[in-house]
């Protein structure tokens, strides 16, 4: 079991730059989720895919954020024109296709905006 893999682990960039993160879920998992976590807080839901379909997006996901899962396997999360407030840990999780299954999290990508 290779688990959920995220890349890169750390990203440091200047304000205004675009960044893209990748998530590879557990291979047999249909569902994929993106969360954002800031220091001392719980993960906040951003968006959710079932296979390649993006089924829900949080109001936290401004128009600068876009996520894709083109073939129903790996997913990318892009942030355009980054701002200081985007600094956070971006966590990806996956779960099997049935409802209310445990979510398996990756190690996250820590984004720091200079």
Partner 1 sequence: GQQVMQIPQYQHVQEGEDFTTYCNSSTTLSNIQWYKQRPGGHPVFLIQLVKSGEVKKQKRLTFQFGEAKKNSSLHITATQTTDVGTYFCAGPHNNAGNMLTFGGGTRLMVKP
Following DSSP, what letter does each residue of 46-111 receive, concatenated?
EEEEETTEEEEE-TT--TTEEEE-TTSS-EEEEE-S--GGG-EEEEEEEE-SSTTPPPEE---EEE
The C-alpha atoms of residue 67 and residue 21 are separated, in whole angstroms, by: 9
Residue 100 engages partner 1 in binding (rule: CB under 8 A):
yes
Q: Which of residues 26-85 bind partner 1 (CB under 8 A)?
A: 31, 33, 35, 40-45, 48, 55-56
Task: Kindly tell me which residue out of 7, 68, 80, 105 binds partner 1, with binding defined by CB under 8 A.
Answer: 105
Task: Kindly tell me which residue out of 95, 109, 111, 113 binds partner 1, with binding defined by CB under 8 A.
Answer: 95
In the complex with partner 1, the residue whose CB is nearer, 21 or 48, is: 48
Q: In this structure, what token pair is assigned to residue 74? A: 């790996």
Q: Which range binds partner 1 by CB under 8 A, 10-18, 66-74, 76-84, 104-112?
A: 104-112
Task: Kindly tell me which residue out of 67, 91, 111, 113 binds partner 1, with binding defined by CB under 8 A.
Answer: 91
* Max CA pair span of the chain: 41
């Amino acid at each position: 079991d290779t688990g959920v893999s995220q890349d890169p682990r750390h990203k440091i960039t200047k304000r205004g730059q675009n960044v893209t993160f990748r998530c590879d879920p557990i291979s047999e998992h249909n569902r994929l989720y993106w969360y954002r976590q800031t220091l001392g807080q719980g993960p906040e839901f951003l968006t959710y895919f079932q296979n390649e379909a993006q089924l829900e997006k949080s109001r936290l996901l401004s128009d600068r954020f876009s996520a894709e899962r083109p073939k129903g396997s790996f997913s990318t999360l892009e942030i355009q024109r980054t701002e200081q407030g985007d600094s956070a840990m971006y966590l990806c999780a996956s779960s099997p296709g049935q409802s209310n299954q445990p979510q398996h999290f990756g190690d996250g990508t820590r984004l720091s905006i200079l």
